[in-house]
Amino acid sequence: MFMKHDLFRKKTLEDINRDVAAGLADEHGTGKMHKVLTTRDLTLMGIAAIVGAGIFSTIGKASFDGGPGIILLFLFVSVACGFSAICYAEFASMVPVSGSAYTYSYVAFGEIIAWIIGWDLLMEYAIGNIAVAISWSDYFTSLINSIHIGSFRLHIPEYLATDYWTAKNGAINTKLIHVIPWMADKWVESKAAIDTANTAWMNAPAIGSFRFICNLPAFLITFIITWIIYIGIKESRKTTNVMVILKLAIIILVIIAGAFYVHPINWHPFLPNGIKGVLAGTSAVFFSYIGFDAISTTAEECKDPQRDLPKAMFNSLIICTIIYVVIALVLTGMVSYKELNIGDPMSYVFTAMHNKYAEWISGIIAISAVIAMASVLLVYQLGQPRIWMSMSRDGLLPPIFAKIHPKYKTPSFSTILTGILVGIPALFMNLTVVVDLTSVGTLFAFVLVCGGILKLQNSSHRLQSKFKTPYVNGKFIIPAMFVLSLVLVWKFGLGKLSITNIPSNLLMENMHYILFGIVFLITSILAYKNSYSLIPALGFLCCTYLLCESGTTNWLRFIIWLFVGLALYFVYGYWNSKLTAKNKK
């Protein structure tokens, strides 16, 4: 029988501090981790994690949907992330150990919620890293294939830079195009990708019917990054710092060069598709901001985590917001927003200028993209083993996950396993279709972190935090916002309907808004009753809204993942964590 008090057993700050002093439950007796990270290092790690694929690809589709007004969405999402960052900063100051949202949830909600968010973060980092490795391979392959030295041209064979299933589907689709001519018109936008995949299939070495096709660059970059992380936090810090400085220098160069080609007339109309068009890019824009939370997993390697982590989170978020807004203005100012529905908008806008510098600048952008994607992979590969390590200390995973290398002072087994679980799938599979799961997982973590601060707002735990979320009483503000939202929905939505023109699928199409409305109502009632702090409440509501915009398919996949995690928890984690807690006493 599962007892409620066991499922929701919490960890106190005293428990956590005792574990830290005792060597963090490392049964291998290899001691503590190196404390070397400063505010500057953490800020650069935050920028490394945030500035990745979003600025080089997804910003194009978002700008196409929203026009120049997409900067409003960047600002809105940065504010929503800012609310969450404040809550993360308080928890990081309150609980200065590795584990991020997993450990924070253990303190605020108890074990079962901590397991759920820990399992969620494993999915977020693993799937996100596989997608990043595959994306890095695409950028790297394009860069290498564009290099000409006299008459000699570098080239990576397609069958060594494509996964097996993409190549096989490319061959099948090529045959369909030849058999059914009108299919060529249907797939015109993806014909280049289909041709590349077909070439990989046709040229691949084969034994019988089996063809040797793999994404070798994706595997190699994962191997290199894993090796850097394994040999020490100092090496990871140096590598990250160098990559981020180079990345920022190139982005600033692109902004300055692009500014000379901006035509303000392209900024009109500012909102060509209205607010609805701006909001269509919500998922893509939020994906661009994911990352600032990852640095909280390095708390035990910070010189002063209670001071440095909050500063670094705010610094990285502010710097990246400025970069995104300026880049969006430059892109939509250089060409019409209608031309930006492409995968490489930054390269395209310079090519569209038709001058002798276009190819040179495009090459610079390609180099920056390779560096950017590698830095994202490094920070996330750094974070996942530390979450595993924290879960292992609490008995939710086997003890080997908490093993600290005696020389390098890194979670050695967890780091190697992370490299395997990311590198092997990236070598053979194409998982970019589930990249949105990364956004769902991150938002879920943000919701729990903001909710955790609300849960602890009157707790004695907060007295031990060096950084506290500024308190603004939301007792009347949040209910007033709920009433205002109802008025706006009625005026611009339901109020325009009549009995004769109500769509039959109105309820199903707007179910996500209805669910958010229910959450908003409950939050308003609790805010009035408990005088909730405004900032974490707004962070909770903003991230809940973004979750509701994440799509039914992604939610179904996410729920399936959680059920798998809960099964593992009740088979192993629940019983072993009880034994671990008993032994610590």
Q: What is the pTM of this model?
A: 0.83
CB neighbour list of residue 247: distance below 8 Å, 6 or more residues apart: 47, 48, 51, 368, 371, 372, 375
Q: What is the mean pLDDT of residues 325-337?
A: 89
pLDDT of amino acid 29: 41
pLDDT of amino acid 17: 67
Query: Is the confidence at residue 224, as pLDDT, over 90?
Result: yes
pLDDT of amino acid 189: 44
pLDDT band at 509 (very low <50, low <70, confident <90, very high): low
pLDDT band at 389 (very low <50, low <70, confident <90, very high): confident
pLDDT of amino acid 535: 92
Task: Let me know: does 340 contact 58? Beta carbons within 8 Å.
Answer: no
Top-confidence residue, 23 or 414: 414
pLDDT of amino acid 415: 92
pLDDT band at 527 (very low <50, low <70, confident <90, very high): very high
Measured CA to CA in angstroms, residue 298 lies from 41, 116, 230, 546 at distances of 11, 21, 14, 27
Three-state SS at 152? strand
High-pLDDT (> 90) share of the chain, %: 12
Q: What is the mean pLDDT of residues 335-345?
A: 80
pLDDT of amino acid 583: 64
pLDDT of amino acid 505: 57
- The 10s digit of each residue's pLDDT in 88-131 is 888 888 887 777 888 888 888 888 888 988 888 887 787 778 87
- The 10s digit of each residue's pLDDT in 274-319 is 887 887 777 677 777 777 788 888 888 888 888 888 899 899 999 9
Query: Is the confidence at residue 542, as pLDDT, over 50?
Result: yes
Q: What is the mean pLDDT of residues 8-22?
A: 69
Q: What is the mean pLDDT of residues 323-339?
A: 89
The whole-chain average pLDDT of the chain stands at 80
pLDDT band at 194 (very low <50, low <70, confident <90, very high): confident
Query: Is the confidence at residue 220, as pLDDT, over 70?
Result: yes
Give, as one character, the DSSP assignment of residue 474. -
pLDDT band at 436 (very low <50, low <70, confident <90, very high): low
Q: Which helix (H) or strand (E) holds 210?
A: strand 210-211
One-character DSSP codes across 67-131: GGGHHHHHHHHHHHHHHHHHHHHHHHHHS-STTTHHHHHHHHT-HHHHHHHHHHHHHHHHHHHHH
pLDDT of amino acid 207: 84
CB neighbour list of residue 386: distance below 8 Å, 6 or more residues apart: 98, 99, 100, 297, 298, 300, 411, 414
Q: How many Å apart are CA 121 and CA 105, to the nearest integer?
A: 12
pLDDT band at 26 (very low <50, low <70, confident <90, very high): very low
Query: Is the confidence at residue 272, as pLDDT, over 70?
Result: yes
Query: Is the confidence at residue 178, as pLDDT, over 70?
Result: no
User: 449: closest CA among 96, 85, 13, 123?
Assistant: 85
pLDDT of amino acid 222: 93
Q: Lowest-confidence range among 70-74, 92-96, 578-582?
A: 578-582
pLDDT band at 462 (very low <50, low <70, confident <90, very high): low
User: 426: closest CA among 166, 228, 59?
Assistant: 166
pLDDT of amino acid 487: 86
Q: Lowest-confidence range among 428-437, 556-565, 574-583?
A: 428-437
pLDDT band at 532 (very low <50, low <70, confident <90, very high): very high
pLDDT of amino acid 28: 41
Domain limits of the chain?
4-16+38-146+219-470, 164-212
Q: Which helix (H) or strand (E) holds 148?
A: strand 148-149
pLDDT band at 230 (very low <50, low <70, confident <90, very high): very high
pLDDT of amino acid 433: 52
Query: Is the confidence at residue 351, as pLDDT, over 90?
Result: no
pLDDT band at 468 (very low <50, low <70, confident <90, very high): confident
CATH top-level class of 4-16+38-146+219-470: mainly alpha
pLDDT band at 151 (very low <50, low <70, confident <90, very high): confident
Q: Lowest-confidence range among 6-15, 179-188, 316-325, 418-427?
A: 179-188
Top-confidence residue, 413 or 305: 413
Q: How many Å apart are CA 195 and CA 188, to the nearest integer?
A: 11
Query: Is the confidence at residue 510, as pLDDT, over 70?
Result: no
Task: Let me know: does 115 contact 565? Beta carbons within 8 Å.
Answer: yes
